[in-house]
Amino acid sequence: MDAQQKISIEELRKLCRDVLAHYGFSQLHINALTETLVTGQINECASHGVYRLLGLIHTLNAGKVSPDAHPIVFDHAPAIVKVDAQKTFSPIAFQAGLPLLTEKAKINGLAAMAINHCVHFSALWFEIEQITQQGLVAIACNPSHAWVAPVGGSKSILGTNPFAFGWPRPDNDPFIFDFATSAIARGDIELHRRTNTPLKEGWAVDVKGNPTTDPNEALTGSMLPFGSHKGSALSIMIELIAASLIGDLNSAESLAWDEKAGGLPYHGEIIIAFNPQSFLGDQMSEYFNRAELMFGDIEASGARLPSQRRYAAKKKNLASGMVSIDQTLLKDIQNLLS
Amino acid sequence: MDAQQKISIEELRKLCRDVLAHYGFSQLHINALTETLVTGQINECASHGVYRLLGLIHTLNAGKVSPDAHPIVFDHAPAIVKVDAQKTFSPIAFQAGLPLLTEKAKINGLAAMAINHCVHFSALWFEIEQITQQGLVAIACNPSHAWVAPVGGSKSILGTNPFAFGWPRPDNDPFIFDFATSAIARGDIELHRRTNTPLKEGWAVDVKGNPTTDPNEALTGSMLPFGSHKGSALSIMIELIAASLIGDLNSAESLAWDEKAGGLPYHGEIIIAFNPQSFLGDQMSEYFNRAELMFGDIEASGARLPSQRRYAAKKKNLASGMVSIDQTLLKDIQNLLS
């Protein structure tokens, strides 16, 4: 990792806005994208922070995303919202559909939002967090580009397919997890290649489907799902419910669509929101308290709840109004303006 | 494994019915339980076949299940069915609620069924299969008894918490998986203890939370989730959506309720059904065909789809009208009648 420097959140936000405006993004896009990127940085999720600006502009320059289209929200069925993202980035489509998803979940007890035709770069936790803020429980997942082989196979058919979940906690940050169903992020394989470090067993196979710990063989071969056949099954489920069920590209189709442009994945996403008030009625506080007891037991036993590192970083950075950023990355972003 | 013998499916079905009648189960119960147990045997899922009769009768004798109550089905919200199982076994509650779940999923696009107060012993795949037969996509999960420690923890707080998914396939057996979120089944730990075989790394921790490969230490300590912190997170999600959200006991509470009687878990279950026709309309056949292409690619790459061993066994056994059964187990079941 290169040297880090501090920058004020306001200054970073302005830099993002300036870059996006420079490349012709509309106000709607500038607002949603800046919020997503800067939130990633505040939460110290470097891989989903302002670093992503580079990929966004690359994808725009490759002609693979719209900088100014308006997503269209459809009231598709009593419990289904559909959002046609119109080839915009996912956060713009998500924000367009969220109010109707929330309304439908509260009326029906649960509801699904299917986002179609979006270019994807954002972390699901940020979307989940916006749903738990409405008092709802949420599950979200999406395909990506096909870089992962199903367990036992020799071909990349599945994406790194993230799966995320959120549970609102009274008087506390929500319980949120968001993980790739691949054993490891693709960026980690790249990092091992650059530092010439062998991979761990179970992370990848070569082009013939044989286990490999060589990062070069992994990059020409396939990554593997986490958790062996169970993770593999979950990843296939994500292809089915977040591509086939919602009528959008799966990870193999997304990669084919990219035509080796090295752009971001283009596909859909499914989000399911549950209204605990509908399920529990006047028993809600009792059962939410019992969930709190479980969280307490988990922490008392020595385990950590997910997202705690992120919440600590957010708290610290919001208090100081400053975030850390890689110096080289900051220069690269500033250079986008020249 | 002891010696196996063949028995006709009809004879085995009659034996189940006789045993259940002998112990005072009502006709409704006898029908649903026999169907569940014999289907397990036909599918050669020995751990969810007629072997379970022993546990059912043990749980009845411990006063922990009702042999004759009628589950009550509630039209709880536009997209929520609630079933109060009235302390009956889960298959009786599931069958009572399935028609309304199906109807609600078809009207709204998706719907959830929350089963409460059921005694659980059945495999989720059997329930999922009944939903895919309606042309619906389904997810189901439930807590169990708390035998699993969250990753990093030293205390059993989570259950073996199965997670199952189903996708209907035109002209083919459905895509179904059903796995425990523990690294291994509790019965496997017991088997290693009996044969004095060390466990694999990552299966269990001792009472202090330290990794162990000693089956005895594992049985007094805790099992571990599959897939490290990702499996652990999924297991916590199951406690939340299949216990807290539906207003029922979580795995720790279920184990406490048992009062060391060694009975089956007592809790709830959540099932989410999606109607692909609502999502896809006249694009349904196109996207279902594209899912078939993915299944074909997966198999062509050398990987196996889940449930294939089970489907092959079912086909073979239904054709011959005979199933295999452990001789000692058959005697144990016959002895229940004396």
Asked if B287 and A245 come within 8 Å (Cβ–Cβ), the reply is: yes
Q: Name the closest residue on chain A to residue B245, using Cα atoms.
A: A276
Question: In this structure, which amino acid lies at residue B193?
Answer: R
CA angle at A188 for the pair A266 and A175, rounded to the nearest 5°: 75
Per DSSP, the residues of A187-232 read HHHHHHHHTT-PPPTTSEE-TTS-B---HHHHHHSEE-BTTHHHHH
Residues of chain B in contact with residue A108, where contact means CB-CB under 8 angstroms, are: 77-80, 108
For residues B86-107, give the mean pLDDT.
Answer: 97
For residues B320-337, give the mean pLDDT.
Answer: 96
Query: To the nearest whole angstrom, how far is the Cα of B334 from the nearest Cα of chain A?
Result: 37
Residue whose structure tokens are 């969930």: A291
The fold for domain B1-61+308-338 equals Hypothetical Oxidoreductase Yiak; Chain: A, domain 1 (1.10.1530)
Can you read off the two tokens belonging to residue A248?
């959008």
Q: Which residues of B are catalytic?
A: 47-48, 188
| B36-66 confidence digits (pLDDT tens) | 999 999 999 988 899 999 999 999 999 989 9
Asked if A244 and B287 come within 8 Å (Cβ–Cβ), the reply is: yes
Cα gap A103→A112, rounded to integer Å: 11
Q: How many CB atoms lie within 10 A of CB B311?
A: 16
Q: Which of residues 58-87 of B touch A (CB under 8 A)?
A: 76-80
| A214-243 confidence digits (pLDDT tens) | 999 999 999 999 999 999 999 999 999 999
Our measurement of the distance from residue B153's CA atom to the centroid of its chain's CA atoms, rounded to an integer in Å, reads 26
Give pLDDT, residue B338. 87
DSSP annotation of A149: P
Asked if B302 and A153 come within 8 Å (Cβ–Cβ), the reply is: yes
Structural domain boundaries of chain B? 1-61+308-338, 71-182+225-306
Query: To the nearest whole angstrom, how far is the Cα of B240 from the nearest Cα of chain A?
Result: 7
Interface test with A, best of B230, B246, B286, B308 (most A CBs within 10 A): B230
Asked whether A301 and B236 are in contact (CB, 8 A), the reply is no
Residues of chain B in contact with residue A286, where contact means CB-CB under 8 angstroms, are: 247
Q: Which of residues 96-135 of A touch B (CB under 8 A)?
A: 107-112, 114
Q: A203 pLDDT band (50/70/90 cuts)?
A: very high
Q: Which residues contact A26 (CB under 8 A, 6 or more apart)?
A: A67, A68
Residues of chain A in contact with residue B236, where contact means CB-CB under 8 angstroms, are: 175, 177, 294, 298
For residues A126-136, give the mean pLDDT.
Answer: 97
Asked if A304 and B236 come within 8 Å (Cβ–Cβ), the reply is: no
Asked if B283 and A239 come within 8 Å (Cβ–Cβ), the reply is: no
Helical residues (DSSP H) of B76-185, grouped into ranges: 90-108, 124-132
Q: Which of A326, A335, A232 is nearest to A5 (CA)?
A: A326
Asked if A240 and B167 come within 8 Å (Cβ–Cβ), the reply is: yes
Asked if B77 and A153 come within 8 Å (Cβ–Cβ), the reply is: no
Asked whether B134 and B101 are in contact (CB, 8 A), the reply is no
Q: Which of residues 236-255 of B touch A (CB under 8 A)?
A: 236-237, 239-241, 244-247, 250, 252-253
Residues of chain A in contact with residue B274, where contact means CB-CB under 8 angstroms, are: 112, 241, 245
Say yes or no: B149 contacts chain A, CB-CB below 8 A: yes
Say yes or no: B152 contacts chain A, CB-CB below 8 A: yes
Class of domain B71-182+225-306: alpha beta
Say yes or no: A185 contacts chain B, CB-CB below 8 A: no
Q: How many CB atoms lie within 10 A of CB B300?
A: 12
In the predicted model, is pLDDT for residue A187 greater than 90?
no
Can you read off the two tokens belonging to residue B55?
């546990």
Q: Average model confidence (pLDDT) for chain B?
A: 95
In the predicted model, is pLDDT for residue A2 greater than 80?
no
Give pLDDT, residue B147. 94
Query: To the nearest whole angstrom, how far is the Cα of B262 from the nearest Cα of chain A?
Result: 23
Cα gap A326→A332, rounded to integer Å: 10
Asked if A287 and B236 come within 8 Å (Cβ–Cβ), the reply is: no
Say yes or no: B32 contacts chain A, CB-CB below 8 A: no
| B253-266 confidence digits (pLDDT tens) | 988 887 777 777 88
What's the Cα-to-Cα distance from A31 to each of A20, A35, A113, A133, rounded to whole Å?
9, 6, 22, 19
In the predicted model, is pLDDT for residue A104 greater than 70?
yes
Say yes or no: A150 contacts chain B, CB-CB below 8 A: yes
| B283-299 confidence digits (pLDDT tens) | 999 999 999 999 999 99
Say yes or no: A309 contacts chain B, CB-CB below 8 A: no
The fold for domain A1-61+307-338 equals Hypothetical Oxidoreductase Yiak; Chain: A, domain 1 (1.10.1530)
Asked if B111 and A110 come within 8 Å (Cβ–Cβ), the reply is: yes
Residue whose structure tokens are 């998986």: B177
Give pLDDT, residue B1. 53
Q: A1 pLDDT band (50/70/90 cuts)?
A: low
For residues A283-303, give the mean pLDDT.
Answer: 97
The fold for domain A74-182+225-306 equals Ribosomal Protein S8; Chain: A, domain 1 (3.30.1370)
Q: Which residues of A are catalytic?
A: 47-48, 188
**Which bin fits A20, alpha (ψ -120 to 50), beta or left (φ > 0)?**
alpha
Give pLDDT, residue A71. 97
Backbone angles phi, psi at B184, to 5 degrees: -155, 160
Query: Which of B153, B179, B232 is the closest to A230 by Cβ?
Result: B179
Give pLDDT, residue B259. 79
Q: Average model confidence (pLDDT) for chain A?
A: 95
Say yes or no: B257 contacts chain A, CB-CB below 8 A: no
Asked if B79 and A111 come within 8 Å (Cβ–Cβ), the reply is: yes
Give pLDDT, residue A190. 85
Say yes or no: A233 contacts chain B, CB-CB below 8 A: yes
